[in-house]
Amino acid sequence: MKKLIIALSALMSLSVAGQSIAEVVTLRLHNHLPPKALAQVDVITPWIEKVERESGGKIKIQVYPSMQLGGSPAQLMDQVKDGVVDMTWVNIGYTPGRYPASEVFELPFMIKSAEGASKALWEYFETNKLADSEYRPWKIIGLNVHDAGQIHMVNSPITSVDDFKGKKLRAPSRVTTKMIESLGATAIGMPITQVGESLSKGVVEGAILPWEIVPAIRAHEMVGYHTEIDAENKALYTAVFVFAMNKQKYQSLPQELKKVIDENSGFAYASLAGKAWDRSVPKARQLALDRGNKFNKIEGPELDKWKAAAEKVSNDWVEEVNKKGINGKELIESANQLLIKYDN
């Protein structure tokens, strides 16, 4: 009898353990980032750790960086939509024109800080109901922008608009492509994964990048010159990133686990991501300074020339999205109002 009780107890323990294991939801997150990128280390990883902890271990998230599961960065959102993977984090610029309303924040001279602009972007997303339009197929965990984009050149500095003529520069999105061309250079679009090799092989003579990513791809070791917009002014450009989840997978979660995801989405995510980008700038700049790289600041009348040249980009964008039935002028006004609220 005693042996039977022990055996039954063991079976019950195994059954309970099996139920516990069955309750764990494992999600696969696929992205294009190198493992040491700031977004990977200081945004995605802490976010995952917090979600796993607050779920009581019922959510486990496996990360596959550097496109380890195949495909290209441009395919990541479709991989999530189609259920090939459960989550992704990606630059919207890798799918040009797919998220036109979100591109407002990528227009020249819009933002100052990553945190303030990311919060403005999230309220913009909610105010303009983007979840029901361009992001309808996904559960959007968050949106954010990076720190002010700067110009990094291999052999020759950019000190004026005239210096752009004849230069080939990497561009991360269609909006920044048009901006670079408005300044007189030739833009070559490519994802961040190709920038290091392109700089080292002379495919491009420079790149527009935020400081955040410079250490991860060792760009400061490949270039000698950095051109920055005066910090008191709005940034030359930024890029918009989306953190997305398969909608059906999210809807299949128990309510308690949905709550954990939701409480770490939206403004909470925007704050986490924005702060990480803003913190990264001094350290990344210092690496370039320590190597003896040269810095140039664009300000005053020269900056006015840059703004005048880039104004056409915004005007053309308004005309372009208007043809798609989107009121571009209203969206710019909406974004600017929220940037005044969060990013002054």
Phi, psi torsion values for 235, nearest 5 degrees: -70, 150
The confidence score (pLDDT) of residue 232 equals: 87
CATH class in words for 149-237+293-342: alpha beta
Cβ partners under 8 Å of residue 225, min gap 6: 152, 153, 154, 155, 156, 157, 158, 206, 293, 294, 295, 296
8 vs 41: CA distance, rounded Å: 46
Q: Is the pLDDT of residue 1 over 80?
A: no
CATH class in words for 23-146+238-279: alpha beta
CA triple 245-191-78, angle to 5 deg: 30
The confidence score (pLDDT) of residue 7 equals: 41
Mean per-residue pLDDT, 136-145: 99
The confidence score (pLDDT) of residue 16 equals: 38
The confidence score (pLDDT) of residue 156 equals: 96
239 vs 105: CA distance, rounded Å: 7
The confidence score (pLDDT) of residue 9 equals: 45
264 vs 82: CA distance, rounded Å: 24
281 vs 111: CA distance, rounded Å: 15
What does the H/E/C string look like for the chain?
A: CHHHHHHHHHHHHHHHHHHHHHHCEEEEEEECCCCCCHHHHHHHHHHHHHHHHHCCCCEEEEEECCCCCCCCHHHHHHHHHCCCCCEEEEEHHHCCCCCHHHHHHHCCCCCCCHHHHHHHHHHHHHHCCHHHCCCCCEEEEEEEECCCEEEEECCCCCCCHHHHCCCEEEECCHHHHHHHHHCCCEEEECCHHHHHHHHHCCCCCEEEEEHHHHHHHCHHHCCCEEEEECCCCCCCCCCEEEEEEEHHHHHHCCHHHHHHHHHCCCHHHHHHHHHHHHHHHHHHHHHHHHCCCEEEEECHHHHHHHHHHHHHHHHHHHHHHHCCCCCHHHHHHHHHHHHHHHCC
**Residue 314 identity (one-letter amino acid):** S
The confidence score (pLDDT) of residue 223 equals: 98
Q: Is the pLDDT of residue 341 over 80?
A: yes
Distance of CA 273 to the CA centre of its chain: 9
Mean per-residue pLDDT, 184-190: 95
Same fold, 23-146+238-279 and 149-237+293-342: yes
The structure's pTM equals 0.90
Question: Which letter, b or e, does each residue of 98-112 get, where b requires 16 or more Cβ atoms within 10 Å of its Cβ?
Answer: ebbbbbbbbbbbbbb
Per-residue pLDDT tens digits for 63-97: 999 999 999 999 999 999 999 999 999 999 999 99
Chain mean pLDDT for the chain: 93
CA triple 51-55-56, angle to 5 deg: 125
The confidence score (pLDDT) of residue 28 equals: 99
What are 68's two structure tokens?
A: 């380890």
51 vs 128: CA distance, rounded Å: 28
Q: Is the pLDDT of residue 18 over 90?
A: no
193 — pLDDT class (breaks 50, 70, 90): confident
Higher pLDDT, 253 or 310: 253
Mean per-residue pLDDT, 44-68: 98
Domain extents for the chain?
A: 23-146+238-279, 149-237+293-342
The confidence score (pLDDT) of residue 53 equals: 99
Per-residue pLDDT tens digits for 299-314: 999 999 999 998 999 9
